[in-house]
Structure 1
C-alpha cells in the first residue's frame, strides 16, 4: 500500500502530462530577457528610484503610486525584418510586458513626485508625505 496515487476521473494522462506546459514563460533565442532592475535610495525628504528599462519608449511606461506602494510597468515591442533586395528573408516580432511593484517605508506625496526617462533608465523622485503628529488635548 505504499504506492498510492490519486486518479482524476474527469481528466486523462495527457492532461496531466501537459499541465502547466503552456503557462511556462517562453524565451526565444536571441531575445533579451526582460526585467526591470532597480536601485532605491532614501534621504530625509524623498526616495530616489533608478529603474533600468532598456529598449522601451517613455510612452510605454506606466508608474502608479498608492500610499507607500509603487508599481512600474512597461510594454515592450520589438520588430525586426531582414531583407535581401525586395525579398523578405525573415520577419520577427516580439511583444510583451514587464512590471515591478514594491513598498516603501513611508507614504509618498503623489502630487510632488517626478519621473524622468533617459538612455533606458527611469528616475523617480518620490518625496515623503509629511506626517501629522498626534496632538494631545489638555482637559480643562
Structure 2
C-alpha cells in the first residue's frame, strides 16, 4: 500500500501541531521531535510539519514562504457541504485563514484554508453524480442538453 507524506514548512512547530490537532488529526509521537511533527491525516496520509531550518536540510532549493507564494495546494474531499464548512470553522478557530470566498459550482462546493504558516489546504464536496459521470454530464443535465 502506498502512503502519502506531504512535507510542510513551519516557523512554529507547536502552533502547527495545535492547528492540525484542532482539525481532528493526531500526532504520531514515533516520528515527532523538536524539529518535526508527523501529523496523521488518514491511515495512509501524513503531513510532516518541519521547522524551516530542518526542511532546508532535505533540499538545495530555497524554501518558499507559503504566505507569499503558492507552491502546492493539497485538497481533501469531504462527505458533505456541512463537513466542508465544519472543518473550515475548526481551522479558522485554530488560527487558520480563508484566503478567498467559498466556490459553489452546483456539482462541487469548495473552500480553501491556509494554516498559520500559509500552507494551503482545500476542502471540497462533490456530488456523487459528478464523481461518477464528470462535471460536464452534470452541466448537461441542468441545462437539459
Same-fold status (TM-score > 0.5): no
Instruction: Compute the TM-score of the two structures, normalised by the length of structure 1.
Output: 0.31
State the TM-score, normalizing by the size of structure 2.
Answer: 0.30
